[in-house]
Structure 1
């Protein structure tokens, strides 16, 4: 079982920016909807890798525990006496450095899995929010204050201009991305 020694890989999640991946631009919902599948695949792939690492870590813990139990049964440990009880042996095993190291690895792997499960949930919420924003955009629903008709017309015109500018920016951004992909 030496193939496990030092071969567990743990990722440093700082290289990925979940906060940035969770953002979306309400003026470029089509682009964000297209990118959603890639983002979800990225985080789900990382989750499956972390789950595999957790299974390996659990195996290492069981292997170390069994190895130490076997050592006590076959060679004996002078500090435990000639006939130690199961509870004494178990307590001794849990204090050994190699067992504690395996437990730390397992805890780190569990933390990674939990983080990535949360990231997957964030990506699912992002997908839902893109749908909600698209539906609001389609139906033309936007919260507006109750104002006089002439002021409303001025605001609507400025909003139309702002939306047109935002749409123009997103189209330019999309065009640049398409050029970069080619």
Structure 2
């Protein structure tokens, strides 16, 4: 269950993380787990946003450099870097993040639409933005992200028979 209702307000739980000094979030319903950074094997001739693949308890999972998907420079892999494992149906992917921030619970009514002027490709994968006491959090839409032009190739490759 993605959100819960408290009184008249619908609540949304978010896993927040940082990329290139920006706080982003995914619905907790889209996150299978968060892990310390696992060894990533780079794969030749793959798009720049595909950092490589890693083994998650014997299952080979693609590692996505979300910063590159969002048009930013590559994720800085430091001591605080983590892998956020996202799940959509039978598909798994790891998202590299520079650090985990916190779990937040917000009122869905507090979510503002993406601001005008963003590149269409970025606006399409944002569910919205929410103001917090420490700044703004950009909430990603996992369905839109995984079906976006850049990551659509990943979905098509995974659906091919082995």
TM range (shorter): under 0.3
Higher RCO (CA 8 Å, separation ≥ 6 residues): 1
Q: Please state which structure has a larger fraction of its residues in helix.
A: 1
The structure with the largest strand share of the pair is: 2
TM-score when scaled to structure 2? 0.23
Larger Rg: 1
